[in-house]
């Protein structure tokens, strides 16, 4: 599965409408719509607040302290892609900075999700090139060993197959399998439609206990009120 | 102490003037005024910078991955309260989001302190509903098991009895026992009155060594100056 | 090396032009220019975004939970210095707050790097006194035990000799040995001159693969492209 | 609650039969018998395998890096006690070693639970004086600041009132409130009586699915079997 | 991929000879033979030293704090299997103890790999039922929510497909895809045959520098010897 | 200070009698004798219990995931040395296993202290080659980049100059600067002579409060006894 030294050029990207629109719902809603699976570990954090993106995954697997393959993956980026970078073991070096971001942006990438470190965060923030990473670090990397591009990877605890949809915002990063992108978009839309009504009720002072009819199941479960 | 499945409806809230005014001094000054006790662990962080609140605690104890009791505690909130949510074991799932925040805000809650995860942080920031939490996570929770409401809890390493005063800002979260709220407010006021004068002296170049008369005790302790 | 109870008054500060100008290049570029050494661990984070400073190190070694020596080091600060505070064992208490910052600023300090906790972060942000620390904590400290001032210390995994140049920004904190400050400034200037040209090429769509002539070494290393 | 500088001499210890016998059941069974509450965080680990103790808590609260109060608590130990040591903020220094263990053992203490570090672990192992701690460290501590003895403390996330029963073994450390000690002993005995029968059935190949009648609730919850 | 509420009964297990024999080589050699991929994160540790097992994976996905599905997976165990338990979010509760171990052992399981906590470790050690886990905890779990059995899971950062070979010992846990089991066994055998000769040479004082002919590439890379 | 690509052949080792005998006192006593400095962080742990060694440091600095320089340092080992391996950034890969241990042992090394991972721990335990490391990992490393040998390094937070004395046991790892080795040996001997007498008194029931004359300073500090 994780063969090293291979670049796969042709990958099947998820439906582009779904890939584009899932981002509007954000990671939390999409994660619910998908059945509460596919979430990356929450140690990945955005380098700046407020970014919300979605797009199709191109993947790269690298060794600790070596970012050579980020140059290789750059060539495989198509407009609308998000690069997902996994490591063979945990490492927080600064694999990615403003030069690579310039290149990725020129190729049409919408952002980077990396299970490692990032640097030049001030420049990246000014460029509005969003990165979700596990650390910020000035520590540079070498270019000595091969990894692979566009193979399935595990990034921050989630399996990512090239072409899957990535949704990332302040709440985290969710992976939607390509085959489920359209159905998930549909489910997310329905969830959100319901939420507006719920929000209005709750704002008016109605309790979730009543709105969701929880009083009976709580009593059945044994909840007791005392003074 | 931690009996599960119980909701206590009548709690004795701390003096409301003290509960309201302690927030003006902030967590660090209140922590000093209280004798350097009652601080929650510093892994709790605010979801956005700049919030500073105080209020009376209503408490809730939940299991990992299950936020059912947040709906139960909502009904017990009175204006001026801060919800303090503890877990039976560490977990970073997203227990709280914009719908619950809408409900809590409608009930008059000033904020949430939770020893777990939070989501919808962009919405919460726009609503100005402050949350101190140990992680941000899109991971949803279930509604299957009972916990308790308004029992004494340990939240992020600090004991909280319902009705205690909570003071929270960018520096952290402090718990002031209800019985000590008025005395602590008094002590905090005195501390702050002294600080303005000290700040002016230090700004003018006077050293703490001289202002606090530290040179003699340092010499006695054996401090040596060398060239 | 780490003798306790000593204050060294006369230290040899690095070349002041280099100490001042290295900050313009930022931690990541300086770290590269220095040969990828001298970086503090990336658990040190700035209390607010956007600060970028450089200056000469005055050092202090303290015990966990005891900030007495911060008052001692204040007297040794000269304009253009950055205080580097190390601990004898890990601790996240709030060693530093707005009063000490007022004093340090009055003495001409440009910032603080501390392998411990900091508090009053809202005030420090308003004062624009930048601090890089391992935690934010309301927990106050005592003034009971001696440490040392201006001895070589290990701060966040990096050796710092008094007088070394410190460069700190959003990417991290780098230590430049005083003897290498001028050469490092020269190397950093050259690096940056080259980067503008590279950035322009990458922005135009040229790939790093071509710009850096990586295709041949990648093929030699065995990289295979598949469809 | 956490007043500093106080030693309470008279505490009410839990029923001694219960305090002695709860240890036979071990931490996991007692934790279940108690209703799944009262567990310390699992970062506390025994310094050697195989110890299983129970006894009544005498408590002590200390500052990071300062073990002065361990000498004060020694005088309050009665045979059958277990010392529970909490800190005002996290610290892993070596607060406790073979000399203090000799003293504690001479006073009749059965062990130590400390939310800090321990040293001389080889000697302690040979003495068979068990310690549950958060780290092992050669780092010595000072004797400069007051804490308190026999006040309620939070140790590793659990509230401990002096006189409570502590049960500790390879699985962890549980706190049984004094008032619940006898009832918990009774519940633990009943649990264990049932377990022998269950163990025999499971060993013979009977499935928990059948023994606990889980098939129907699983089906109701929607579990589907596919080929 | 991670559909919840499904139990797959028919899975294709890897070649049984390879599954049995890979264990003789241990995790480190197999990891090398596999091309340095497929390793679980090293926070998973064995509950006792010295166990070395291999076998075919049956998988289970559970929610934090809920071990209901461990009873469901028990029925799917065949002799020679190793249970691999993944969680939907990080949690260290004690999902597994001596009763479940009795059942698993009766079904022929060789061990458990779980990305969560374990308890009754003294009993498990006496039973010689090895478990690799992320924590030891007395904290019990509930039986309230569905997960899945025999679906592909991510456990401690590694993808596991039901039927894959698991190799686990004191060095860690490796996953060998079923399709590569025989080839990996062959590669591991060859590696080990070479190692005996190397070990003898190194024991006689021959340096790796000479045995591996490293002096020339080191010199080419620029290594300088100084006095 | 950390120049890469250099091997220093001639280093000045500490007094050999002191280097040999300091080990008898163990890390904790030596750390006290040295003035409570020079301790490595306590995340370094021995791979097996009971080893206690001392010897002179030969140092090596490596990049994450690359153990090439361990072969280079092997040639610089003299009987009685302990290898101290530092990394340019945190990494837990398995840099060291049984083949390198065979070579190091053949050269006369007494052990390894490494701020990274180790593997083949079962073999190393059987060979009685002790290693203090930050993790155990099957993850192999590459041999692609230069580091340095016998330069000053920071290992687990402590500065080590080649030739310093290393003392390591179950309590941790201490670095004694070569110039202080003899004086530290003397101080450690004196400490230990005093301890036997203290231990006997404490074992007889004398309290530390009395033996160390603490009652008066405690009262002066304000300690109050209450009933």
- For residue F33, give both structure tokens: 């004798």
Among chain D residues, the shortest Cα distance to E135 is held by: D42
What is the reported pLDDT for F180? 96
List, for residues E25-65, the tens digit of each pLDDT value. 999 999 999 988 899 999 999 999 999 999 999 999 999 99
Distance CA E25, CA E31 (A): 10
Q: Measured at the alpha carbon of residue F138, what is the angle toward residues F134 and F140, in degrees to the nearest 5?
A: 95
Per CB-CB distance under 8 Å, the chain A contacts of B106 are 202-205
Mutate to test the interface with E, among D31, D32, D170, D195 (most CBs of E within 10 A): D170
Residue A61: count of CB within 10 angstroms of its CB:
27
- Binned at pLDDT 50, 70 and 90, residue E3 comes out as low
Task: Say what angle helices C181-203 and A98-107 make with each other, to 10 degrees.
Answer: 0
Distance (Å) of CA E158 to CA B43, C32, E177: 28, 33, 11
Q: Is the pLDDT of residue F138 over 90?
A: yes
Distance CA F123, CA F107 (A): 18
Over range C204-217, report the average pLDDT. Answer: 96
Distance CA D82, CA D86 (A): 13
Size of interface C-D (CB pairs under 8 A): 44
Mutate to test the interface with E, among B61, B64, B139, B143 (most CBs of E within 10 A): B64
Per CB-CB distance under 8 Å, the chain A contacts of B117 are 42
Please state, rounded to an integer, the average pLDDT across all residues of chain B.
96
Contact at CB, E64 and B93, closer than 8 angstroms: yes
Contact at CB, E92 and B88, closer than 8 angstroms: no
List, for residues E157-177, the tens digit of each pLDDT value. 999 999 999 999 999 999 999
Distance CA B150, CA F78 (A): 66
Over range B123-145, report the average pLDDT. Answer: 96
Contact at CB, A177 and E1, closer than 8 angstroms: yes
What is the reported pLDDT for D1? 41
Q: Which residues on adjacent β-strands are paired with residue C169?
A: C172
Residue in the structure block whose two tokens are 């400390």: D114
- Binned at pLDDT 50, 70 and 90, residue B3 comes out as low
Task: Tell me if residue D50 falls in helix, strand or coil.
Answer: coil
Contact at CB, F8 and E226, closer than 8 angstroms: yes
Over range B79-83, report the average pLDDT. Answer: 98
Mutate to test the interface with C, among B49, B52, B171 (most CBs of C within 10 A): B171
Interface of D with E (CB under 8 A): 26-28, 30-32, 36, 39, 42, 45, 49-50, 52, 169-172, 174, 195, 198-199, 202-205, 207-209, 212, 214, 218, 221-227
Give the burial class of E199: count Cβ atoms within 10 A of its Cβ; 0-12 exposed, 13-18 middle, 19 or more buried: middle
List, for residues E17-34, the tens digit of each pLDDT value. 999 999 999 999 999 999
Distance CA B176, CA B184 (A): 8
Stated as kind and residue range, the H or E segment containing D53 is strand D53-62
CB C82 within 8 A of CB C107: no
What is the reported pLDDT for B37? 86
Residue C224: count of CB within 10 angstroms of its CB:
13
Residue A12: count of CB within 10 angstroms of its CB:
10
Per CB-CB distance under 8 Å, the chain E contacts of F140 are 28, 31-32, 36
Contact at CB, C1 and F159, closer than 8 angstroms: yes
Contacts of F92 (CB under 8 A, 6+ apart): A89, A90, E42, F116, F117, F134, F135, F137, F139
Contact at CB, F37 and C177, closer than 8 angstroms: no
- For residue E145, give both structure tokens: 């929510």
**DSSP secondary structure string, B196-213?**
HHHHHHHHTT--HHHHTT
pTM for the complete prediction? 0.96
Contact at CB, F91 and A64, closer than 8 angstroms: yes
What is the reported pLDDT for D4? 79
Interface of C with D (CB under 8 A): 63-66, 88-93, 137, 139, 142, 144-145
Interface of D with C (CB under 8 A): 63-66, 88-93, 137, 139, 142, 144-145
- Binned at pLDDT 50, 70 and 90, residue E212 comes out as very high
Chain F neighbours, 3+ Cβ pairs < 8 A? A, C, D, E
- For residue C161, give both structure tokens: 């000799």
CB D168 within 8 A of CB D46: yes
Alpha carbon of B75: minimum distance to chain E alpha carbons (Å): 25
Over range C100-123, report the average pLDDT. Answer: 98
Contact at CB, D39 and B89, closer than 8 angstroms: yes
List, for residues A19-61, the tens digit of each pLDDT value. 999 999 999 999 999 988 899 999 999 999 999 999 999 999 9
List, for residues A147-206, the tens digit of each pLDDT value. 999 999 999 999 999 999 999 999 999 999 999 999 999 999 998 888 889 999 999 999
List, for residues D176-189, the tens digit of each pLDDT value. 999 999 999 999 99
- For residue A72, give both structure tokens: 């290789």
CB C21 within 8 A of CB C182: no
Q: Across the interface, which of F4, F38, F159 has its CB nearest the CB of C159?
A: F159
Q: Across the interface, which of C89, C154, C177 has its CB nearest the CB of F1?
A: C177
CB burial string A99-121: b at 16+ within 10 A, e below: bbbbbbbbbebbbbbbbbbbbbb
* Dihedral sign for Cα atoms in the order F23, F27, F32, F37: positive
List, for residues E71-101, the tens digit of each pLDDT value. 999 999 999 999 999 999 999 999 999 999 9
CB A42 within 8 A of CB E9: no
Which of D66-75, E119-128, F188-197 has the least mean pLDDT? F188-197
Over range D153-181, report the average pLDDT. Answer: 97
Per CB-CB distance under 8 Å, the chain C contacts of B50 are 122
What is the reported pLDDT for E1? 42
Q: CA nearest F202: which of D115, D114, D127, D119?
A: D127
Stated as kind and residue range, the H or E segment containing A225 is strand A224-226
Cα atoms in the 13 Å half-sphere on the side-chain side of D151: 23
Contacts of F135 (CB under 8 A, 6+ apart): E42, F92, F116, F117, F118
Please state, rounded to an integer, the average pLDDT across all residues of chain C.
96
Per CB-CB distance under 8 Å, the chain E contacts of B69 are none
List, for residues A114-140, the tens digit of each pLDDT value. 999 999 999 999 999 999 999 999 999
Q: What share of chain B is helix, strand, coil (3-state, %, to 5)?
A: 35, 25, 40
Alpha carbon of B10: minimum distance to chain A alpha carbons (Å): 5
Mutate to test the interface with D, among E138, E142, E143 (most CBs of D within 10 A): E138
Could you tell me how far CA E55 lies from the centroid of its own chain? Answer: 9
What is the reported pLDDT for C1? 42
Q: CA nearest C150: which of C159, C162, C138, C158?
A: C162
What is the reported pLDDT for A1? 42
Chains D and A touch (3+ CB pairs under 8 A): no
Interface of E with D (CB under 8 A): 5-10, 68, 71-72, 74-75, 92, 94, 97-100, 102-103, 105-107, 117, 119-122, 125, 135-140, 143, 145-146
Distance CA B149, CA B133 (A): 19
Contact at CB, D226 and E121, closer than 8 angstroms: no
CB E139 within 8 A of CB F89: no
Q: Measured at the alpha carbon of residue D129, what is the angle toward residues D123 and D135, in degrees to the nearest 5?
A: 75
Interface ipTM: 0.94
Per CB-CB distance under 8 Å, the chain E contacts of D26 are 120, 122
Stated as kind and residue range, the H or E segment containing D209 is helix D208-211
List, for residues B156-167, the tens digit of each pLDDT value. 999 999 999 999
- Binned at pLDDT 50, 70 and 90, residue C3 comes out as low
Q: Across the interface, which of B6, B105, B120 has its CB nearest the CB of A224?
A: B6
- Binned at pLDDT 50, 70 and 90, residue B214 comes out as very high
SS3 letters across D152-196: CEEECCEEECCCCEEEEECCEEEEECHHHHHHHHHHHHHHHHHHH
List, for residues C52-83, the tens digit of each pLDDT value. 999 999 999 999 999 999 999 999 999 999 99
Q: Is the pLDDT of residue C37 over 90?
A: no
Contact at CB, C71 and B174, closer than 8 angstroms: no
Contact at CB, D214 and E8, closer than 8 angstroms: no
Contact at CB, A31 and B138, closer than 8 angstroms: yes
Chain A neighbours, 3+ Cβ pairs < 8 A? B, C, E, F
For C90, left (φ over 0), alpha (ψ -120 to 50), or beta?
beta
């Amino acid at each position: 599965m994780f063969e090293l030294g291979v670049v796969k050029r042709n990958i099947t990207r998820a439906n582009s409408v779904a890939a584009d629109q899932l981002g509007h719902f954000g990671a939390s809603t999409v994660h619910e719509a998908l059945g509460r699976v596919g979430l990356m570990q929450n140690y990945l954090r955005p380098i700046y607040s407020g970014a919300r993106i979605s797009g199709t995954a191109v993947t790269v697997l690298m060794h600790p302290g070596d970012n050579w393959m980020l140059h290789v993956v750059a060539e495989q980026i198509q407009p609308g892609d998000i690069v997902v970078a996994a490591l063979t073991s945990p490492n927080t070096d600064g694999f990615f900075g403003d030069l690579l971001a310039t290149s990725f942006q020129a190729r049409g990438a919408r952002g980077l999700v990396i299970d490692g470190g990032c640097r030049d965060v001030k420049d990246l923030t000014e460029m509005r090139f969003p990165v979700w990473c596990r650390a910020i670090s000035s520590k540079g990397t070498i270019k000595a060993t091969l990894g692979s591009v566009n193979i399935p990877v595990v990034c921050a605890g989630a399996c990512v197959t090239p072409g899957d949809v990535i949704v990332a915002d302040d709440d985290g990063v969710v992976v939607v399998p390509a085959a489920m992108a359209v159905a998930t978009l549909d489910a997310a839309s329905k969830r959100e439609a319901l939420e507006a009504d719920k929000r209005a009720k709750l704002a008016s002072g109605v309790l979730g206990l009543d709105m969701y009819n929880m009083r009976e199941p709580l009593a059945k479960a044994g909840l007791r009120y005392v003074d």
